[in-house]
Structure 1
Amino acid sequence: MHRLLERRWTISAIVRRLNLDRKTVRRFRDTDLDELLASACERRPNGVMDPSKANVSARFAEAQGQVSGTRLFLEIRARGYRGSRQVVRKHLTALRAGTTEPVRADIPSPRKITSWIMRPREALTESQEERLLQFRLTCPGITRACDLARVFADLVRHRRGHLLLKRIRQAEQDTPKPMTGFARFLRQDLDAVTAGLTLPWSSGAVEGHVNRVRTPDRAVYGRASSGLLQVRIITQP
């Protein structure tokens, strides 16, 4: 890049040639080479520890700073850390001195947590089961919602409609508001829901045919005549 600058290349031309960001080119142009090399050497060891910083910050907060670097090193090494012990001690010293900010653990979205709750336990990986357990221990509301959701999922999978009313009563007592509203909604059409959880028949086949007809209808809406729609529906396999 410096050779190109010596040839009086513009920043835009260097960006296109080297596929770099404009800020990177300006920083390399305006910063002494020795300073760039020194800063790169200082940052390189910390990059090894980046995936483990959230665990270190959590353990640091849990122990209120009273935790040894050796213990932290052994714990994160068991989780896959491949760096040296000195890097861990350096990061821990920075946390105690307040010169670096603690890294918060990645918090999954509500949709992801819901998917963990609704899946059977045997379908979860070890790490997913561990993360879900952490949230259950942190939030009692999630614990109660998780238990009830799995109970209702069991009713659907195994057609245990005779237990529906009992489960509804459980959901109406000391549960988060969304679960209470869900239970009251089921009461509005209790006979139909019980039949759906008991009998082997359902309207799934009819809904499938309706969707098969509506899909091409939406595809040609405003673009073609009803004759083309009729042909597409008849010839669709």
Structure 2
Amino acid sequence: PAVPVLHLFEEIKALGFTGCLNLLHKYINQGRADADRSHISPRRLARMLLTKPDNLKIEHHDLLTRLTAACPEMTQLAAHIRNFAQLLVPAQGNADPLEYWITQVRSADLPHLHAFTRGLERDHNAVIAGLTLPYSNGPTEGVNAKTKLIARQMYGRAGFTLLRHRILLG
């Protein structure tokens, strides 16, 4: 541990090692990561932040709590995500809390959320309709996705008649 990696690299290079310094560095450090340090990808952390807290496993909930408490920006981000998630259940009174949420996010120093709020304001009427009305085009989108899947599966195999039968009977 007291010998610098560069010194080791120079010694083994003289003995005929043909690899690079980065390879030696990886070899020396493998398995030496701190056990208490979290090894989690940004994508997995994002998924944990976006998952309903009731659906998280206990160990993931504890890990998320530790990670969000690690810095003030993560604490703010987690709080804003939780507050926005409450608005996703359509209700008549969601328009005013949305405006309040956008104001809160704009006052925070979270540039990616600022971009998100700009998108919400760009499609303001559609967002308000989506958060306040009980209607959804989800079933239509589901049928569309299923039709595209069947068409992709059948590409080059048969004509329109068989595609039509598979869609109508499936």
Query: Normalising by the residue count of structure 1, what TM-score does the alignment of the two structures yield?
Result: 0.53
Task: Quote the Cα distance in structure 2 between the aligned partners of 1:190 and 1:203.
Answer: 18
> How far off its partner does 1:132 sit?
1.1
> How far off its partner does 1:161 sit?
2.2
SS of match in other structure, 1:164: helix
Indicate how the Cα distance of structure 1 residues 175 and 158 shifts in structure 2: closer, same or farther if over 3 A, else same. Answer: farther
Give the partner amino acid of 1:103: D
Conserved 8 A contact 1:136-1:142:
yes
Aligned to 2:152: 218
Aligned length: 137
Aligned to 1:137: 69
Aligned to 1:43: none
Aligned to 1:187: 121
> Matches of residues 18-97 of structure 1 in structure 2 within 5 Å?
none
Task: Quote the Cα distance in structure 2 between the aligned partners of 1:169 and 1:221.
Answer: 49
The yes-or-no answer on 1:153 pairing with 2:85 is yes
> What CA deviation, in whole Å up to 9, does each residue of 1:51-104 have, x standing for no partner?
xxxxxxxxxxxxxxxxxxxxxxxxxxxxxxxxxxxxxxxxxxxxxxxxx95535
Indicate how the Cα distance of structure 1 residues 134 and 225 shifts in structure 2: closer, same or farther if over 3 A, else same. Answer: same
Aligned to 2:50: 118
Task: Quote the Cα distance in structure 2 between the aligned partners of 1:132 and 1:196.
Answer: 29
Pick the structure with greater CA Rg: 1
Task: Quote the Cα distance in structure 2 between the aligned partners of 1:190 and 1:155.
Answer: 14
Task: Quote the Cα distance in structure 1 between the aligned partners of 2:168 and 2:53.
Answer: 43
Conserved 8 A contact 2:90-2:134:
no
Query: 4+ residue runs of structure 1 moved beyond 6 angstroms?
Result: none
Task: Quote the Cα distance in structure 1 between the aligned partners of 2:126 and 2:41.
Answer: 33
Q: Could you list the runs of 5+ residues in structure 2 that have no partner in the other structure?
A: 1-30
**Greater RCO, CA 8 A, separation 6+:** 2
Q: Could you list the runs of 5+ residues in structure 1 that have no partner in the other structure?
A: 1-99
SS of match in other structure, 2:88: helix
Identity of aligned residues (%): 29
Task: Quote the Cα distance in structure 2 between the aligned partners of 1:234 and 1:158.
Answer: 32
Quote the RMSD (CA, aligned, Å). Answer: 2.1
> How far off its partner does 1:147 sit?
0.8
Task: Quote the Cα distance in structure 2 between the aligned partners of 1:102 and 1:188.
Answer: 45
